[in-house]
C-alpha cells in the first residue's frame, strides 16, 4: 500500500492493519499514530523505515498490508487496553502472543468458606493461573493495585493467611486488620457480608462512593485537629482507592452487545465510524462512506443498508435525532436504537474523533483550532470582487469542501446595485444575494465564509449576511501580510507561512481571486466585441 503520512494523527491510539481480503493481520498501539506508522513505511527523514525491533516480522508483515484503520484514544493507557481487547477479538496472524502479566494486573476473590483477596496473573495462553475465583481488572498500574489490595484487606478485615484456617489467631487480629474467623470471632455469614461490600467496591457501585466520602470526612477532621500525619495517611488511602473509580471507557462491562455509530456528512459523502462492543469492551471498528446523492435521509438509508438481514446488537447508539431513532426502531420493529447518555457519549466521542481525523483533511482541523471555531470548517465559501475603475464589476464565490475545490458549486455574480468603484458595497451585495437565496431554497449553509480583503471588506460582508437574515462564522484574509481579520478580535491573527491552516485560507482566497479575474476579463472581452 502507499503510506500517506498526513492521514494519520499525532495522537495516541490503536492501528489495525488488514490484508487484501479485509482480514485483520496486525493490531498495535502508539503514543503517536503518525510516528509509529512511519516506522513501518518510512518518513521523509528515513524513507527506509526504522523497524529496529522484530525486523523479520515487520519485513513479512508490511508487504501484506492493504489498508490501515485507527481508533484515537484519550491517552496511551487507554490505547494499551484497547490493543489487548482487539488482539483477543481478532487473533491477528502477525501479533506475538500477548502476555498479560507484562502489562496488566488483576485482583481475585477466592471461592472458600472465608474468601481471601489475592493478586492474580495470567499465563502465556491468557488463562488465569488461579482456579475457582472471581476476577477483577485488568489494572494497568500494578503498584496502585497492590496498594489498593492491602488497603481493601484492612478496610474489610479480609484474612491473608493460608487457605486452611489456622487454629490460633495471628498478629493481623491483634492489630485490627482481621476479625479472626479462625477462632470464631466472626461468623461465616457476617464475613460474607464484608466480602459483598468488597465486591461493591471492586465493581464501582455506590457502596464504594460512600466509603470515599467517609474517608474524605475523616481526612478533613484529622486536618482540622492538626493531625497531619493521619490526614496524609488517609489521603494516601483515598488515592489507592481511586483506581476503582476510573471508569475506563474501553474496559467498562455491561454484559451485552453494543454498536456505537457516529455519522457525519463530508462533501457528497456520508461517513460512518462504527465501534463494536462486546460485554462492555470495544472489540472492533469499521469505517464506511456512502454517497449522499439526492437521498433525503442518507443517515436512515445507511442504517437500513448496514443492518438489514442481520441480527441487531442489543443496543445501537448514534448521533441521530430522536425522530430518526424512532423511525429506525419502527423500521426494524425493535428497541435497539438509542440516543447516548452521558457515559455512552464518551464512547461515541472516540468514534467521532477517529472518523474526523481519518476522514477530514488535516488542514481543516488545523483551521478550526486556529480560528477557534465550534465545528470543523468542512465547507468554506470564499468571496472576491473584481473591477477596473468601477467598470464591468463582478463578484465570485468559490467553494472548498474538505480542503479541496468543489468546482461544481462555484458561482459568478454581476454587480447590479452599485455604480462606480465601491468594493465594500459590492461585497455586501454579493454576500447578501448568495445567502438570501440559500435561505429561501433551504440549502445547506457553509461552515465558514472567507472574504478576500481586510477589515472593511469583512464588515461589508457581515452587513450582507445581516441583510440576508443569517450569521455565519466569517473571516477575511488580507494579501499583503496574510493577516486574518475576525469579527470578535481587535487585532489581526498571524499564522506561520508553513501553517496548514493559513495555506488552506490562501488557497481559497487565491482561487476566488483567479475565478473573479477570469470572469471580469470575459465580461470586458464581450464588451469590446459588442
Residue 52 is part of a domain; what is its CATH number?
3.40.1440.10
Is residue 512 within 8 A of residue 384, CB to CB? The reply is yes
Q: What is the CATH number of the domain that holds 315?
A: 3.30.420.340
Are both 397 and 473 inside the same structural domain? yes
Q: Is residue 167 part of a domain?
A: yes
Is residue 104 within 8 A of residue 139, CB to CB? The reply is yes
Full residue range of the structural domain in which residue 85 is found: 5-97
265 three-state secondary structure = strand
Provide the CA 391 distance to its chain's centre, in angstroms: 52
Are both 225 and 133 inside the same structural domain? yes
pLDDT number for residue 252 = 46
Q: Which three cell numbers stand for residue 412?
A: 459568478
Q: Is residue 516 part of a domain?
A: yes
The whole-angstrom separation of Cα 233 and Cα 245 is 19
Candidates 40, 148, 17; CA nearest to 94 is 17
Are both 372 and 516 inside the same structural domain? yes
pLDDT number for residue 210 = 73
Which has the higher per-residue pLDDT, 506 or 42?
Answer: 506
Q: Is residue 372 part of a domain?
A: yes
Q: Print burial letters for 263-301: b (CB count within 10 Å at least 16), e (below 16).
A: bbebbebbbbbbbbbbebbbbbbebeebebeeeeebbee
pLDDT number for residue 436 = 96
Q: Is the pLDDT of residue 488 over 90?
A: no
pLDDT digits (tens, 9 = 90+) for 394-427: 999 999 999 999 999 999 999 888 887 889 999 9
Cα dist from 491 to 382, 455, 495, whole Å: 22, 10, 13
pTM, entire model: 0.57
Are both 375 and 515 inside the same structural domain? yes
Q: Is residue 450 part of a domain?
A: yes
Least trusted range by pLDDT, from 155-159, 259-263, 443-447:
155-159
pLDDT digits (tens, 9 = 90+) for 343-364: 899 889 989 988 888 788 889 9
Domain end among 359, 394, 425: 359
Most confident of 125-129, 195-199, 247-251: 195-199
pLDDT digits (tens, 9 = 90+) for 163-182: 889 888 888 888 878 888 99
pLDDT digits (tens, 9 = 90+) for 89-102: 777 877 743 344 34
Percent of the residues in the chain that have a pLDDT greater than 70, as a whole number: 83
Relative orientation angle of helices 206-224 and 188-202, to the nearest 10 degrees: 90
Is residue 13 within 8 A of residue 74, CB to CB? The reply is no
The whole-angstrom separation of Cα 435 and Cα 249 is 43
Q: Is residue 86 part of a domain?
A: yes
According to DSSP, the residues that pair with 128 across neighbouring strands are 122
Are both 91 and 107 inside the same structural domain? no
Which has the higher per-residue pLDDT, 126 or 505?
Answer: 505
Which has the higher per-residue pLDDT, 1 or 500?
Answer: 500
Candidates 356, 367, 373; CA nearest to 472 is 373
Are both 268 and 346 inside the same structural domain? yes
Q: Is residue 250 part of a domain?
A: no
Q: Which three cell numbers stand for residue 251?
A: 474496559
Candidates 283, 252, 250, 261; CA nearest to 76 is 250
CA atoms within 13 Å, Cβ hemisphere of 444? 15
pLDDT number for residue 525 = 62
Q: Is residue 252 part of a domain?
A: no
Average pLDDT taken over every residue of the chain: 82
Candidates 195, 194, 192, 165; CA nearest to 180 is 165
Are both 525 and 380 inside the same structural domain? yes
The whole-angstrom separation of Cα 415 and Cα 306 is 49
Are both 45 and 15 inside the same structural domain? yes
Are both 197 and 128 inside the same structural domain? yes
pLDDT number for residue 419 = 80
Which phi and psi angles does 292 have, rounded to 5°? -75, -40
CA angle 298, 433, 422 (to 5 degrees): 145
The tally of domains found in the chain comes to 4
State the sign of the Cα–Cα–Cα–Cα dihedral 332, 336, 341, 347: negative
CA angle 110, 112, 118 (to 5 degrees): 25
Are both 320 and 411 inside the same structural domain? no
Are both 484 and 380 inside the same structural domain? yes
> For residue 189, how many other CB atoms are within 10 A of its CB?
7
pLDDT digits (tens, 9 = 90+) for 211-231: 778 778 878 888 898 888 778
Which has the higher per-residue pLDDT, 25 or 124?
Answer: 25
The whole-angstrom separation of Cα 162 and Cα 110 is 12
pLDDT number for residue 289 = 85
Is residue 385 within 8 A of residue 393, CB to CB? The reply is yes
Distant-in-sequence, close-in-space partners of 349: CB < 8 Å, separation ≥ 6: none
The whole-angstrom separation of Cα 511 and Cα 483 is 17
State the sign of the Cα–Cα–Cα–Cα dihedral 312, 313, 319, 323: positive
Provide the CA 8 distance to its chain's centre, in angstroms: 13
pLDDT number for residue 47 = 47
The whole-angstrom separation of Cα 427 and Cα 383 is 8
Domain end among 222, 245, 268: 245
pLDDT number for residue 248 = 38
pLDDT number for residue 141 = 54
Is residue 456 within 8 A of residue 462, CB to CB? The reply is no
Cα dist from 306 to 21, 287, 298, 485, 515, whole Å: 19, 12, 12, 45, 41
Distant-in-sequence, close-in-space partners of 436: CB < 8 Å, separation ≥ 6: 467, 468, 469
376 three-state secondary structure = coil
Are both 215 and 316 inside the same structural domain? no
Domain end among 216, 245, 274: 245
Candidates 198, 217, 204; CA nearest to 157 is 198
Which has the higher per-residue pLDDT, 107 or 207?
Answer: 107
Amino acid at each position: 500500500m502507499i503510506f500517506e503520512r498526513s492521514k494519520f494523527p499525532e495522537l495516541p491510539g490503536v492501528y489495525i492493519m488488514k490484508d487484501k481480503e479485509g482480514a485483520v493481520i496486525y493490531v498495535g498501539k502508539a503514543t503517536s499514530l503518525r510516528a509509529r506508522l512511519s516506522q513501518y513505511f518510512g518518513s521523509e527523514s528515513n524513507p527506509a523505515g526504522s523497524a529496529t525491533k522484530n525486523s523479520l516480522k515487520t519485513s513479512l508483515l508490511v508487504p501484506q498490508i492493504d489498508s490501515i484503520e485507527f481508533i484515537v484514544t484519550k491517552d496511551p493507557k487507554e490505547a494499551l487496553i484497547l490493543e489487548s481487547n482487539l488482539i483477543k477479538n481478532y487473533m491477528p496472524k502477525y501479533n506475538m502472543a500477548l502476555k498479560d502479566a507484562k502489562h496488566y494486573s488483576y485482583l481475585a476473590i477466592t471461592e472458600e468458606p472465608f474468601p481471601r483477596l489475592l493478586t492474580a496473573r495470567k499465563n502465556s495462553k491468557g488463562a488465569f493461573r488461579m482456579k475457582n475465583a472471581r476476577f477483577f481488572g485488568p489494572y494497568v498500574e500494578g503498584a496502585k493495585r497492590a496498594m489498593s489490595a492491602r488497603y481493601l484487606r484492612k478496610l474489610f478485615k479480609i484474612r491473608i493467611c493460608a487457605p486452611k484456617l489456622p487454629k490460633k489467631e495471628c498478629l493481623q487480629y491483634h492489630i485490627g486488620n482481621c476479625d479472626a474467623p479462625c477462632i470464631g470471632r466472626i461468623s461465616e455469614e457476617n464475613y460474607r457480608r464484608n466480602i459483598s461490600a468488597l465486591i461493591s467496591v471492586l465493581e464501582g457501585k455506590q457502596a464504594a462512593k460512600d466509603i470515599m466520602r467517609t474517608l474524605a470526612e475523616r481526612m478533613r477532621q484529622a486536618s482540622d485537629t492538626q493531625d497531619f500525619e493521619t490526614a496524609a495517611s488517609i489521603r494516601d488511602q483515598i488515592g489507592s482507592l481511586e483506581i476503582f473509580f476510573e471508569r475506563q471507557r474501553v474496559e467498562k462491562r455491561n454484559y451485552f452487545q453494543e454498536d456505537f455509530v457516529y455519522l457525519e456528512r463530508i462533501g457528497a459523502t456520508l461517513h460512518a465510524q462504527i465501534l463494536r462492543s462486546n460485554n462492555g469492551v470495544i472489540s472492533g471498528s469499521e469505517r464506511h462512506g456512502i454517497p449522499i446523492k439526492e437521498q433525503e435521509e442518507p443517515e436512515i438509508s445507511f442504517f437500513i443498508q448496514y443492518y438489514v438481514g442481520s441480527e441487531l446488537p442489543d443496543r445501537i447508539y448514534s448521533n441521530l435525532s430522536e425522530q430518526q431513532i424512532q423511525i429506525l426502531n419502527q423500521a426494524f420493529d425493535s428497541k435497539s436504537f438509542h440516543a447516548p447518555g452521558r457515559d455512552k457519549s464518551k464512547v461515541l466521542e472516540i468514534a467521532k474523533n477517529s472518523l474526523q481525523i481519518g476522514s477530514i483533511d488535516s488542514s481543516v482541523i488545523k483551521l478550526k483550532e486556529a480560528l477557534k471555531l465550534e465545528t470543523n470548517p468542512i465547507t468554506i465559501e470564499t468571496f472576491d470582487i473584481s473591477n477596473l475603475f468601477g467598470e464591468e464589476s463582478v463578484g465570485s464565490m468559490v467553494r472548498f469542501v474538505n480542503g479541496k475545490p468543489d468546482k461544481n458549486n462555484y458561482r459568478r455574480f454581476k454587480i447590479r446595485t452599485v455604480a462606480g468603484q465601491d468594493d465594500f458595497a459590492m461585497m455586501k451585495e454579493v454576500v447578501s444575494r448568495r445567502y438570501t437565496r440559500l435561505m429561501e431554497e433551504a440549502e445547506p449553509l457553509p461552515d465558514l465564509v472567507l472574504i478576500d480583503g481586510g477589515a472593511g471588506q469583512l464588515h461589508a460582508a457581515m452587513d450582507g449576511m445581516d441583510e440576508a437574515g443569517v450569521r455565519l462564522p466569517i473571516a477575511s484574509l488580507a494579501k499583503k501580510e496574510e493577516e486574518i481579520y475576525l469579527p470578535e478580535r481587535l487585532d489581526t491573527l498571524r499564522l506561520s507561512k508553513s501553517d496548514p491552516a493559513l495555506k488552506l485560507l490562501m488557497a481559497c482566497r487565491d482561487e476566488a481571486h483567479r475565478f473573479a479575474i477570469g470572469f471580469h476579463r470575459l465580461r470586458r472581452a464581450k464588451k469590446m466585441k459588442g
